[in-house]
Structure 1
Amino acid sequence: MGLFDFLTSKKPSSANLAKERLRIIVAQERTTRGGPDYLPLLQRELLEVIRKYVNVDVDAVKVDLVKDGEHDVLDISVSLPDRTP
């Protein structure tokens, strides 16, 4: 285990890299599976209402459903732009 081992180490194969990427995608899908299908619509409608008063990006509004014990909590996050004097 010296310097030569480091220099001759192989990069991960493309199959292993694809497997790891697929594992990440599946994990993300599992977190959103079973969630209500109205969340994307709710997010769009909230964005439309907020845009009536403040100019914000599409990514400024995040809507998530979070489990809190026995209850589902609707978590709404809005990133407002900085105020300019």
Structure 2
Amino acid sequence: MDLWSRLFTREDSSKEVAKERLRLVLIQDRASLSARTLEALKGDLLKVISEYLEIDDRGFQVDVARDHNALALVANIPILRVKRTL
């Protein structure tokens, strides 16, 4: 059934694109980070983590949350497998 849904659903629907843009605007507003800085941070994290773990980058999310007066960096990193280390 998963293959069926992949074939006949649009992954990049305008609703999902708008939802992601709004999420990024809210994150930027909460943390006072530019969208460019947040995307650069996400890219750097993805690059470093990928050296040690094979991850599903489609599910990789980085958010900034505010708890009272503190900011927290929250990452959701779907791990597919651990890479062998030398």
TM class by shorter-chain length? 0.5 to 0.7
Give the superposition deviation at 1:77.
1.9
Alignment of 1:12-51 (within 5 A): 28=22, 31-34=26-29, 35-37=32-34, 38-51=37-50
Seen in structure 2, the aligned counterparts of structure 1 residues 51 and 82 have a Cα distance that, compared at 3 Å, is closer
The amino acid of 1:28's aligned partner reads L
Task: Tell me, in whole angstroms, the C-alpha distance in 2 between the residues paired with 1:66 and 1:33.
Answer: 10
Give the superposition deviation at 1:79.
1.1
Whichever structure has more strand as a proportion of its residues is: 2
The amino acid of 2:75's aligned partner reads I
CA contact (8 A) 2:53 2:81 kept: no
Percent of aligned positions that are identical: 20
Higher Cα Rg: structure 1 or 2?
1
Task: Tell me, in whole angstroms, the C-alpha distance in 1 between the residues paired with 2:22 and 2:47.
Answer: 27
Number of corresponding residues: 60
The amino acid of 1:36's aligned partner reads L
Divergent runs of 4+, >4 A: none
CA contact (8 A) 1:67 1:73 kept: yes
Q: Which structure 2 residue ranges, 5 or more long, are not aligned?
A: 1-14
Helix, strand or coil at the partner of 2:40: helix
Name the structure, 1 or 2, with higher relative contact order (CA <8 Å, separation 6+): 2
Helix, strand or coil at the partner of 1:48: helix
